[in-house]
Chain A
Amino acid sequence: MSLYLILIPFISSLFLLLARPAASRSIALAASLANLAITLFALAGFNGDGSFNHEFSVPWVSGAGIHFRLGMDGISMLMVLLSNLLAPLIILSSDGEKYRPEARYFGLLLMMLGALNGVFMALDGLLFYVFYELALIPIYFICAIWGGDNRIRVTMKFFIYTFVGSLFMLVALIYMYLQTPGTHSFLWEDLVNVQLSSSAAWWVAVAFFLAFAVKMPVFPFHTWQPDTYTTAPTGGTMLLAGIMLKMGTYGVIRWMVPLAPESLHDLAPIFIGLAVFGIVYASIIAIKQSDLKRLIAYSSIAHVGLIAAGIFAWNKLGVQGSLIQMLNHGINVVGLFYVVELLERRLGTRSLSEMGGIAKNAPLFATLFMVIMLGAVAVPLTNGFPGEFLLLNGVWNFNPWLGAIAGLTIIFGAVYMLRAYGLVMFGPANEATAQFEDLNTRELVVLGAVALMVVAFGFFPQWILNITDGSVNRILGAVQF
């Protein structure tokens, strides 16, 4: 079953790119919904004890121990759920007028979906690396073809940053591979079983950290992120922030910590320190932003900083919190970027100073935006709350001081989100905002679905925690530092 999650997007992507049919959006939507159906089906019969479900394995380069091996434990399942849940929404939200030629855009988007599913399911080190890089190519094209000003320079910076980061990971993976016994193997279990000396583990952990820290991004490797998020077309930003950055956090849980735990006793405090510093740093910058898209980009650095800190704390609360927050942050950030897109579509600007008084003309829009915004602020009974609560608890258990500083994210988050919401919705209307039209059907479906998930996952976080519970117990039991 896991193979279909990759094959369906790739085959439909090739079809869209080569045949360039007119009904490309419908085909893309159908393919992504088929993927979602398979995901839900896989979830229905899921064995959450931490073993790998739906395994598929064929040798790829047999002499060199490289396998095409896919499989899902609870952690992978949650990530696959995230990407396949968001893909139809992103396709539905993409404004066809903006993306010409449409077939190329949707083809690249589906290629991205296939690669992301591959990243989350790969159980072979080299296969993971291949999917990790493959995901970069379509998003690079999406951002550079349909992006805004300076797109070529900005996307090149993004590409080089992430590519160089993951090359370090490749070197680390090859090093680990050469330590495996016999004819060597890239299988996850074989790599995990390698015992490294503490100095080698130090290098391996740092190399992995570079790859994943760039992707997330964690301070000080974040400098590509605000420009790229702002310049990219909204569909690209949603993919980047909603799903792609989770490749980094997922990679830490699946690969970095299990492969090189020997050195993390010393390194984890440094990584958490960077992450926590990034939370405060990005939050303060977010408060001062006047461009709404840029504001959400910085808020994303803050949120992902907390997720990273929770993972490196490596206790049950931290890791469970990071997983549920990965899903919910993905949902919220897609909703928020869609709000930016709707505002920009109607007003032609993203500047907060040129907005105001929209709530009166567009009550539906104002309500749904508020629900999503509350989720991002982590108000209790929204989806943001359980994750942030668990994460802060986990970091606190690691070190109370770091937990207290990380806790500032709640206060800062409320400040910048409420400020933004107020500037957009309330106050006097200007000429443009007085004409503001409320949501049409398609926009309502997308934003409504996001808001529904915000509320549903806020009321029933246990749904999500149950998926990952067994896997987290198993991985924490097996790997300690």
Chain B
Amino acid sequence: MKALLILFATAIIVLFAGLSHKRQRMLPLALGGVLVALGVTLSDLLMGDSTGWNDMYSSMFLFDNYALAFGAVALLTTALIFGLSGWGFRQLSETLGDNYGLLLFSICGALVMFSFTNVIMLFLGIEILSIPLYVLAGSRRDDLASNEAALKYFLMGSFATGILLFGITLVYGCCGTFDLQGIASAVQSGRATGPMFHAGVLLIVAGLSFKVSAVPFHFWAPDVYTGSPNMVTAFMATVVKTAAFAAFYRLFSTAFVDLSAVWGVAIAGIAALTMTLANTTALFQQDFKRMMAYSSISHAGYLLLAILVAGKTGAANAILLYTLAYSIATVCAFAVYMTVAEQNGDGSFSAFNGLSKKDPLLAAVMAISILSLAGIPPTVGFFGKYFLFTAAFEAYPWLIVLAVINSAISIYYYFKVIIAMYFTSDENAYTVTVPAAFRWVMLAGVLLIGLLTVSPDSILGLIR
């Protein structure tokens, strides 16, 4: 709760500070707010909350360990992304304050999605998260692709929210409550049953599948990822994905945990489709950002494995470790991509040719991130996959075999970058200069990947 208030206040201050056009003050203000919120969240998570602020608004929020741990992941990722924004937002002048403000509002929505104990709060969280992003996706106003991205994102997003809301309505009609525990007890007592209730649950699955960009509800993702400004794409691929999955899991591990007979087959099918289709499509991409879009869809497929065993010991921690590893690696990969692509005007794989000779450290950061995304041991990405797969192994062995095969397929496209950087000779005339802030973000990211590799244990005990 405290983090939410801090962020909301920071967002409003940044928005008004934007009017004064003092651009060098904007970043310290926004980043400072995020870091303070991160510090407060971590201290609540590790030392416990003594103020009683974490349970407010008639218990429609509950900032339990689950909410705090995911909040810390999202805030850490946002801090890393803000670290890139000094250079990433260099072309913005008038709208700089708006951009920071919207990003901060969006993360407020993410925090709500981690902590809801009421379905209405979930809905509000999703809206608070999404509406600023519709604007941000189109923030390059004179760029046609950016406009297209905003329109697609908005249309698809509101469509998905409509479906979600319809599902919530049906569920409410059967249970008479929006409260997660209330729904769970209605299910247990057998009050909530019948086709209408099941249709409601499946509509909620569909709505959330839109949000996590799972196949067949993924069509918006590649275009929106490609068209949006790089900073916004990095945010969507990491924080938004984490938020959507944390909310998905929170809902299904409390309200619908005893209903897996209804949604199990549906989600298993969606997971299988998502992994397979995303990985095979990613093979054919020539553009790095578009590849990352499909890669993020495929990661959604793996993460759905944990939803399938919602409520099982270790499943929540597996999602936490996975999203953390995935977010850090994705931010690092985007940092390298932005340095190369924005200076060179070319976002295809060939832009990376010979990078290991031009800047060995930059190439090393990308290589480590890619290895972690591909889940190759001993990187933390491997441990993320390992704990997801182990959690779902006994219930869905066939799905795990499929996931393993998909992990192998993903090597083909992930390694295109490594092949370009290390094994392809350099025919690009351009030079790469890495902004100082980027170096710090990359250093922090690689150190975090290293630390988590040595001790995944430190994350796995956080949610009890």
Contacts and interface: CB of A to CB of B under 8 A. Distances in A.
Nearest to A153: B419
A18 to B, nearest CB: 8
Interface string B380-400: 001100110110011000001
B411 A63 contact: no
A440 interface: no
Nearest to A118: B378
Contacts of A159: 411, 415
Interface stretch (A76-84, A128-136, A238-246, A292-300): A128-136
Given A159-B411, A167-B404, A175 B419 contact: no
B-side interface mostly: helix
A164 B409 CA distance: 9
B423 A152 contact: yes
A411 interface: no
Contact of B401 (A61, A144, A160, A171): A171
A177 B456 CA distance: 18
B74 interface: no
Contacts of A56: none
A281 interface: no
Contact of A171 (B400, B411, B457): B400
Given A130-B382, A171-B401, A64 B393 contact: no
Nearest to A132: B377
B155 interface: no
A133 B377 contact: yes
Nearest to A159: B411
Contacts of B12: none
Nearest to A170: B404
Contact of A134 (B314, B378, B401): B378
Interface in A208-262: none
Nearest to B461: A63
Interface range on chain B (Cβ under 8 Å from partner): 20 to 34
Interface in B407-445: 407-408, 411-412, 415, 419, 422-424
B367 to A, nearest CB: 9
Contacts of B423: 144-145, 151-152
Interface string A61-77: 11110000000000000
A64 B460 CA distance: 9
A13 B436 CA distance: 26
Given A63-B457, A63-B461, A130-B382, A171 B404 contact: yes
B165 interface: no
A163 B404 contact: no
A144 B412 contact: no
Contact of A163 (B360, B401, B408, B460): B408
A38 to B, nearest CB: 22
Interface range on chain A (Cβ under 8 Å from partner): 20 to 34
B42 to A, nearest CB: 21
Contact of B377 (A104, A130, A175): A130
Contacts of A465: none
B205 interface: no
B378 A141 contact: no
Contacts of B151: none
A170 B393 CA distance: 12
A-side interface mostly: helix
A175 B412 CA distance: 27
Interface in B34-68: none
B6 interface: no
A175 B393 contact: yes
A152 B387 CA distance: 32
B371 interface: yes
A164 B408 contact: yes
A17 B364 CA distance: 10
A134 B422 CA distance: 18
A137 interface: yes
A174 interface: yes
Contacts of B394: 178
Contacts of B419: 144, 152, 156
B411 A160 contact: yes
Contacts of A137: 371, 376
B347 to A, nearest CB: 21
Nearest to A20: B360
Contacts of A64: 314, 387, 390, 460
Interface string A439-450: 000000000000
Nearest to B424: A152
Nearest to B378: A130
Given A159-B411, A160-B412, A178-B393, A134 B377 contact: yes
Contacts of A4: none
Given A61-B460, A63-B457, A129 B408 contact: no
Given A164-B408, A171-B401, A178-B394, A61 B378 contact: no
A129 B415 CA distance: 21
B5 to A, nearest CB: 34
B412 to A, nearest CB: 7
Contact of A167 (B378, B407, B455): B407
Contacts of B314: 63-64
Contacts of A163: 376, 408, 411
Contacts of A460: none
B457 A61 contact: yes
A401 interface: no
A60 B383 CA distance: 11
Contacts of A63: 314, 457, 460-461
Given A130-B377, A133-B377, A152-B423, A62 B390 contact: no
A126 B456 CA distance: 14
Interface string A317-330: 00000000000000
A17 to B, nearest CB: 8
Contact of B457 (A62, A141, A167): A62
A184 to B, nearest CB: 9
Contacts of A151: 423
Contacts of B415: 156, 159
Contacts of A59: 457
Contacts of A133: 376-378, 382
Nearest to A59: B457
Contacts of A174: 386, 389-390, 393, 400
Nearest to B371: A137
A178 B460 contact: no
Contacts of B411: 159-160, 163
Contacts of B408: 160, 163-164, 167
B457 A60 contact: yes
Contacts of B387: 64
B221 to A, nearest CB: 27
B190 to A, nearest CB: 33
Looking at A61, A126, A177, the one whose CB has the most chain B CB atoms below 10 A away is A61
Contacts of A20: 360
Interface in A83-117: 104
A178 B314 CA distance: 14
B231 to A, nearest CB: 29
Nearest to A164: B408
Contacts of B377: 129-130, 133-134
Interface in A10-26: 17, 20
Contacts of B455: 60
Interface in A154-199: 156, 159-160, 163-164, 167-168, 170-171, 174-175, 177-178
18 contacts: A60-B457, A62-B457, A64-B387, A64-B460, A133-B377, A133-B382, A134-B378, A141-B422, A152-B423, A156-B412, A163-B408, A167-B408, A171-B400, A171-B401, A171-B404, A174-B393, A177-B390, A178-B394
Interface of A: 17, 20, 59-64, 104, 126, 129-130, 133-134, 137, 141, 144-145, 151-152, 156, 159-160, 163-164, 167-168, 170-171, 174-175, 177-178
Given A62-B457, A64-B314, 10 more contacts: A61-B456, A133-B376, A133-B377, A141-B422, A144-B423, A152-B424, A163-B411, A167-B405, A171-B404, A175-B393
Report the 9 A-B pairs with minimum CB-CB distance, sorted nearest first: A133-B377, A130-B377, A144-B423, A130-B378, A164-B408, A167-B404, A61-B457, A152-B423, A134-B378
